Chains A and B, each alone.
Chain A
Amino acid sequence: MNRKYLGYLFEVAWILPSVAVPIAFLVAIVITAFAVGIAVPGDAGRVDPKALSTTAPFDKPGLRELAPGRYEAVVIAQLFNFSPGEIEIPAGSKVTFIVTSRDVIHGYKIEKSPINMMVIPGQISRMTTTFDTPGEYYIYCHEYCGAGHHLMVGKLIVKPAQTASTNR
């Protein structure tokens, strides 16, 4: 065969999978994000960081039980801690985290879970997930926020379902 056409053949043999493979990945992403529900944070509205103490829900940061096994955690990130710093839930709970910042940009990442959000002053970050496995999980601020950034660590405690007390 003519060398040039052999070259074209190789090119086509490479190009077809180069298009097909990324498309297959994309389809998988769209299915998991919109059918399975592993969603990324979206636009959840703005808030005035200077008026957090008078703006619901951030006037009362903490854990609230909305229904059996269904919680809402309102968290304020600030230099250099989270308020509340410790959250305790029974295993199997579905929790919506509603987080904002009082000052600069922070991060909110709970290890071994999909919760991973930027926390930006003026913005509300919101994500929901279910915690099935009992244990203690670190919550890290994963964006540089100043001299004490490395001290900004919280904790999520998932209690075995039977013994958990949600009455705190």
Chain B
Amino acid sequence: MATARVSGVSVTAERAEVGVFATEYRLTGLNMLIAFVALAIGGLFGVMQALQYNGIDLYKPISPILRGGYYQGLALHGVLNVLVFTTFFIIGWLTFVTSRSLGIPLASRALGWTTFGVMTGGLLIAALPLLLNNATVLFTFYPPLKADPLFYIGLTLVVVGTWLLLINQVMMLRQWRAANPAARIPLPAFMAIVTMTMWVICTFGVATEMIFLLIPWSLGLVQGTDPVLARTLFWFTGHPIVYFWLLPAYISWYNFVPQQAGGRLFSDPMARVSFILFLILSTPIGMHHQYTDPGISEIWKLIHAIFTFGVFFPSLLTFFNVVASLENGGRARGGKGWLVWVFNLPWRDPSFTTQTLAMILFAFGGAGGLINASYNINLVVHNTSWISGHFHLTVGTAVTLSFMGITYWLVPHLTGRKLWSPTMALVQAWTWFVGMGIFSHWMHMLGLLSMPRRTAIGAMRELHPEWEPLLPVIAVGAIIMFISAILYYLNMVLTITAGKKDTVPMVPFARAVSGPEDGPRVLDNFKPWLAIAFTLIVINYTPTLIRLVSEIQFIPGIRSW
């Protein structure tokens, strides 16, 4: 356990280690700082939306600052939470994981700072039109809604900036392999590199959309753009992006949570296989977001549905492996029986509890995701508040709550200050769990009653009588989460500014019951898996993309907000 290692000798060693990684730690900390500032602002709009549903309009009082009302707030909520918060946190987290797992600093620290600079610059450029109500196009920015060019240019820079981390990782892997020719790649670094590789491949979709369609069009260089082609390119990135959010949480669930639970990872080879399957299957399935789109044939939609069910398989492997690891920990702590071991888990450890609660809600998110992926069953729920309910369980809890859980040990480790209040952190975890459970469940139910997503429900001319009794429950869930967020930020600010100065060691990477030696070496060789990934993308996307490009239609842009 982490605390057991704080003896005189290991503290000195730990300080020396931290010194070696000073730049990496600074980059990780800065990225996470931007991430959580974005989440704070974005989250504030979340609770305002839930209140607006109930006729409490907080947009009027802030209208001198934000003129766009509900929909500008919604644009900020989406962009800041699912694009800015996730991306910045993940780049910081993977920088940390890769360098600590390989035991070497970034291959090029200049490149590390460039990554940070390009991303931050892009964020500032995109923030300007967002705040001026010139980019109220939500985080999906579907044309022909036409935003200020700075919005598209800024977001493109954020994405391109992230690519630079992969270059650094590949150089680090080369250095590490030269020094350790016979060894297997450590699991955390392996996973971090697979995540970034998958991300770089899939972001070719949105980068193409931005560079060839949206940026020239918003600058007035072309007269229109093709909305279906743009959507198809968007969702080429838009589904794998959810794995870009999830896999960094999985990295924590696989490599840190088993250790925090007092046990070992169940199976290293199974973990590697699941990440390779995510690399292969995340991208050639994006059209399952377009089941109800015109202009795309039913056959390709069905093929993407089949592959989407395929990517459910590595998710199930992860579920098994992580739960088996928790069981290993529970039994190591004296747990017995089929399920009683659950009570032997370290529920007083805020980082453990936060992430384990995130996993529990994620099980429901995963089941709901299977429904969304189910081709014609999706007709019942597509674009209803069911979908918002769904992704608040996945990105809003599995990812966000896990990232919060990571910061409960990582921020003390990075800053050398003890967590201000573990009790407050535990209350935060449980209130998020309860608040999100309420919010998300009733958003799903309202979706089944056809309540549309991304809609200012409180301003509708006629409110559906079946929705009315459920809307206050949404606000209750949102307010509980808001309280949870206040507890989180209070705890973090107090930790950073007034936490007791101490050397807080890093949570050690978990060892495995079944280690990498039990799996074939080919798992560490990226080439065959990349070849399969590219082949599937070409097969699943080329026919549709060629047809859409050959039929291209230039639809003029509109600013309708």
The chain A residues found within 8 Å of chain B, CB to CB, are 4, 7, 10-11, 14-15, 18-19, 22-23, 25-26, 29-30, 32-33, 38-44, 46, 48-49, 79, 103-105, 107, 109, 111-112, 114-126, 138, 140-151, 153
C-alpha spacing A145/B462, complex, angstroms: 19
C-alpha spacing A112/B466, complex, angstroms: 12
CB distance from A154 to the nearest CB of B (A): 11
Checking B144, B294, B452, B464 against A141 with a beta-carbon cut-off of 8 angstroms, the contacting residue is: B452
Minimum CB distance partner of B375 in chain A: A29
Minimum CB distance partner of A143 in chain B: B383
**Interface assignment of B167: CB less than 8 Å from any CB of chain A:** no
Checking B297, B306, B450, B455 against A112 with a beta-carbon cut-off of 8 angstroms, the contacting residue is: B450
Q: Are A149 and B456 in contact (CB under 8 A)?
A: yes
The CB with the most chain B CB atoms within 10 A, among A40, A114, A123, is that of A40
Checking B312, B379, B514 against A38 with a beta-carbon cut-off of 8 angstroms, the contacting residue is: B379
Q: Are A19 and B302 in contact (CB under 8 A)?
A: no
In the complex, the number of residue pairs spanning A and B with C-beta atoms less than 8 Å apart equals: 183
CB distance from A20 to the nearest CB of B (A): 11
The CB with the most chain B CB atoms within 10 A, among A30, A115, A119, A123, is that of A123
**Interface assignment of B292: CB less than 8 Å from any CB of chain A:** yes
25 pairs, CB–CB < 8 Å, chain A vs chain B: A7-B266, A7-B513, A11-B267, A14-B320, A18-B320, A22-B370, A42-B294, A42-B298, A79-B558, A79-B560, A104-B142, A109-B382, A111-B450, A112-B450, A118-B383, A120-B231, A120-B294, A122-B228, A123-B228, A140-B452, A140-B455, A146-B145, A147-B71, A150-B455, A153-B462
Given known pairs A7-B266, A46-B553, the reply for A26 and B305 (CB within 8 Å) is yes
User: Which residues of the other chain, A, contact B296 by a CB distance below 8 angstroms?
Assistant: 42-43
Q: Are A118 and B317 in contact (CB under 8 A)?
A: no
Checking B231, B294, B324, B561 against A146 with a beta-carbon cut-off of 8 angstroms, the contacting residue is: B561
User: Which residues of the other chain, A, contact B360 by a CB distance below 8 angstroms?
Assistant: none
Can you list, as one digit per residue, whether each of B299-311 has a CB less than 8 Å from chain A (1) or not (0)?
Answer: 0011001100110
Checking B266, B306, B313, B459 against A26 with a beta-carbon cut-off of 8 angstroms, the contacting residue is: B306
Q: Are A7 and B454 in contact (CB under 8 A)?
A: no
**Interface assignment of B283: CB less than 8 Å from any CB of chain A:** no
User: Which residues of the other chain, A, contact B514 by a CB distance below 8 angstroms?
Assistant: 4, 7
CB distance from B192 to the nearest CB of A (A): 24
Q: Are B313 and A18 in contact (CB under 8 A)?
A: yes
Checking A25, A44, A103 against B294 with a beta-carbon cut-off of 8 angstroms, the contacting residue is: A44
Q: Are A38 and B454 in contact (CB under 8 A)?
A: no
State which residues 530-561 of B face A: CB under 8 Å: 551, 553, 555, 558, 560-561
User: Which residues of the other chain, B, contact A29 by a CB distance below 8 angstroms?
Assistant: 305, 374-377
The CB with the most chain B CB atoms within 10 A, among A121, A125, A141, is that of A121
CB distance from B556 to the nearest CB of A (A): 8
CB distance from B104 to the nearest CB of A (A): 32
* Sample of 17 more A-B contacts, CB < 8 Å, known A15-B317, A29-B376, A38-B376: A4-B518, A18-B316, A22-B310, A23-B309, A26-B305, A40-B375, A40-B378, A44-B294, A48-B553, A104-B560, A114-B380, A115-B379, A116-B379, A118-B290, A138-B450, A138-B464, A142-B453
Given known pairs A26-B309, A121-B227, the reply for A144 and B455 (CB within 8 Å) is yes
**Interface assignment of B226: CB less than 8 Å from any CB of chain A:** yes
C-alpha spacing A126/B459, complex, angstroms: 30
Q: Are B294 and A43 in contact (CB under 8 A)?
A: yes
User: Which residues of the other chain, A, contact B138 by a CB distance below 8 angstroms?
Assistant: 144
User: Which residues of the other chain, B, contact A119 by a CB distance below 8 angstroms?
Assistant: 294
Q: Are A33 and B375 in contact (CB under 8 A)?
A: yes
C-alpha spacing A38/B231, complex, angstroms: 24
C-alpha spacing A25/B226, complex, angstroms: 35
C-alpha spacing A23/B316, complex, angstroms: 14
User: Which residues of the other chain, A, contact B561 by a CB distance below 8 angstroms?
Assistant: 146-147
CB distance from A76 to the nearest CB of B (A): 14
Minimum CB distance partner of B146 in chain A: A104
C-alpha spacing A30/B374, complex, angstroms: 10
C-alpha spacing A22/B312, complex, angstroms: 8
Q: Are B294 and A104 in contact (CB under 8 A)?
A: no
The chain B residues found within 8 Å of chain A, CB to CB, are 69, 71, 74, 138, 142, 144-145, 226-228, 231, 266-267, 270, 290-298, 301-302, 305-306, 309-310, 312-313, 316-317, 320, 324, 370, 374-380, 382-384, 449-450, 452-457, 459-462, 464, 513-514, 518, 551, 553, 555, 558, 560-561
Q: Are A11 and B450 in contact (CB under 8 A)?
A: no
C-alpha spacing A17/B266, complex, angstroms: 19
User: Which residues of the other chain, A, contact B518 by a CB distance below 8 angstroms?
Assistant: 4
Q: Are B383 and A109 in contact (CB under 8 A)?
A: yes
Given known pairs A114-B380, A116-B379, the reply for A146 and B305 (CB within 8 Å) is no
Minimum CB distance partner of B270 in chain A: A11
Given known pairs A11-B267, A151-B461, A153-B460, the reply for A144 and B295 (CB within 8 Å) is no
User: Which residues of the other chain, B, contact A18 by a CB distance below 8 angstroms?
Assistant: 313, 316-317, 320
Q: Are B558 and A103 in contact (CB under 8 A)?
A: yes
Q: Are A118 and B144 in contact (CB under 8 A)?
A: no
Given known pairs A40-B291, A125-B294, A151-B460, the reply for A104 and B380 (CB within 8 Å) is no
Q: Are A104 and B370 in contact (CB under 8 A)?
A: no
Q: Across the A-B interface, give the 10 residue pairs with the lowest CB-CB distance, nearest first.
A: A146-B560, A111-B450, A142-B452, A123-B294, A142-B383, A18-B316, A125-B294, A42-B298, A150-B456, A144-B454
C-alpha spacing A141/B384, complex, angstroms: 10
C-alpha spacing A43/B300, complex, angstroms: 11
C-alpha spacing A126/B513, complex, angstroms: 55
User: Which residues of the other chain, B, contact A49 by a CB distance below 8 angstroms?
Assistant: 555
User: Which residues of the other chain, B, contact A153 by a CB distance below 8 angstroms?
Assistant: 460-462
C-alpha spacing A25/B294, complex, angstroms: 25
C-alpha spacing A148/B558, complex, angstroms: 14
User: Which residues of the other chain, A, contact B306 by a CB distance below 8 angstroms?
Assistant: 26
The CB with the most chain B CB atoms within 10 A, among A29, A111, A122, is that of A122
Q: Are B454 and A143 in contact (CB under 8 A)?
A: yes
User: Which residues of the other chain, B, contact A46 by a CB distance below 8 angstroms?
Assistant: 295, 551, 553
